[in-house]
Amino acid sequence: MNASGPVIQRGGRRLLGGLVLMMGLLLGGFQGASLSAAENRLDEFKPWLALLAGELHGVFTPVEGRPLAWGLTWSPGNGAVRKGEVTVEGPDITLKIAVEFEFVTGRLRWRAIEGRVDLGAWLPVLATRPELESMLTGLSATGVVIISGEGLWSDGVVTGGLRAELAEGTVRNEADGWSLEGVTFRVGGDAAGLFKARVPFELAVRTISTARFGARNFTVSATLDDFERIQVNTARVEIAGGEVKAEPFTVSLSKPAIDVNLVMQRVGLQDLVVFVPTALSEARGRINGKLRLKWNSDEGVQVGEGGLELEKSEPTTLRLVSAPGFLTEKVPARFTWLPSCFGPLSRWFAPANPGYKTLSEIERGKLGLRVESLDVRLTPEGDERGRSASVIIRARPEQDGTAVGEVTLEVNVAGPLAAVLRLGMKQNLSVSSD
């Protein structure tokens, strides 16, 4: 640490000692000391603050290879008011805060004159820190974080606010194949709340792109509480032409985990086919519903209780992935009426089953289905029949005039819910003819 510049009153030792005491006072307030206690300490050091004038500067390195120069200037003033400026400058970062202390009233004013951090330059550097490595490795970003705010500390009461904002940024992970465009992030707010370790923040993303699906207009409003947990108040995203909302939930930072109810409205089936590639090749229509989603680092994503149903305002159609025998395995191609003892004659004179051809075209993906009802029930703990999930689809062939009037597909799962995404190949099947 180096001290330079004029020490106008009472010598360099008082300057250094008084400023260290003042910095300790401010840091003590942020580390949990009560405002009234901090205000008493401010009163205790008023004589020192009134005598200080000069400059203090040094260098610290929060991340290897990124040294930051800091400085603190304190004007001689007029014996009643002392003005100063705190600066932090380095590669791709600038922070300047003006400070004014009124000796008679005991008021301490501050104002952010300038605050800029280049996110693109600092993100890969922060990823080198062990506590952030797993979270940030592989990420790249663009955008500048702007820091602003001002406030007053008087009679133990803090007013004003401090904010940091990123506008129109981007975040990408090329290796994992996803990107966020139009990222806006706002953190901070009322100074009194910040002193109590309640930090509100808002996140908005205009466009989300992944290898499997896309989404847009993702928004989150939440509060960082005591630097131990995040209370998510609202979260929503537009996906597949519909909307998914999250009910309020809490995330612990000591052992991150998510347990949240999701409400889906008019979500398009066409964009969800990628999640059931072994069963559906095409789907049109929309669904509504609610399900519980859980995640933790040990077990990954888990689907909880929920239910889905069709949106009735528009038609729903689907087409199966080609799977010969899926529907016709137990359906005869011909109706036999002669006893088997007649040998080949019993087959030659057997009339064709008019529904067989239609079912064969459906199971081969050549003929689509108009879905009349969809009922999905998810019960991981098991329902009255021991099922963890059940899916019932009632549909009719898209082509009119076929011998098949209705097809009912029923999926019953008594194990992990991942089987629902496959729709299985051993469902109950019933067919009715007109």
pLDDT at 117: 93
Structural Rg of the chain based on CA atoms: 33
Please tell me what DSSP assigns to residue 269.
G
CA distances to 30, 129, 284, 408, 430 from 370, in Å: 63, 55, 9, 12, 16
Token pair for 347: 């087959």
Do residues 188 and 163 touch, judged by C-beta distance below 8 A? Answer: yes
Cα–Cα distances in angstroms (integers) from residue 22 to residues 30, 31, 81, 233, in the given order: 13, 14, 15, 37
The span from the CA of 35 to the CA of 158, in Å, is 8
Q: Helices H, strands E: what count in the chain?
A: 9, 24
The neighbour count for residue 135, using CB atoms within 10 Å, is: 12
**For residues 332 and 342, what is the distance between their CA atoms, to the nearest angstrom?**
18
The pLDDT value recorded for residue 259 is 92
Residue with tokens 């400070």: 99
Long-range contacts of residues 39-45, Cβ cutoff 8 Å, at least 24 apart? 39/106, 39/153, 39/155, 39/156, 42/106, 42/108, 42/153, 43/106, 45/18, 45/21
Picking from 408, 405, 403, 428, the residue whose alpha carbon sits closest to that of residue 352 is 403
Please tell me the predicted confidence (pLDDT) of residue 215. Answer: 92
Tokens describing residue 186: 């706002």
DSSP 323-344: -TTTTTTTS-SB---S-GGGTH
Nearest to residue 330, comparing CAs of 299, 353, 302, 306?
Answer: 353
Tens-of-pLDDT digits for all 434 residues of the chain?
333 333 333 333 333 333 333 333 333 333 344 444 544 555 565 556 666 677 888 998 888 888 999 998 888 766 678 888 999 999 899 999 998 888 778 788 999 999 999 999 988 888 888 777 777 888 999 999 999 999 988 877 788 999 999 999 999 998 889 999 999 999 998 877 777 778 899 999 999 998 877 899 999 999 988 878 899 999 999 998 899 999 999 988 878 888 999 999 999 988 777 666 667 788 899 999 998 988 887 877 788 888 889 988 889 998 888 888 888 887 777 665 545 554 554 555 556 677 788 888 888 999 999 999 888 888 877 778 887 788 888 999 988 777 788 888 887 776 665 555 554 444 455 555 55
pLDDT at 28: 38
Q: Is the torsion defined by CA of 363, 366, 369, 375 positive or negative?
A: positive
Secondary element (H or E) of residue 314? none
Say what the pTM is.
Answer: 0.74
Tokens of 330: 């137990």
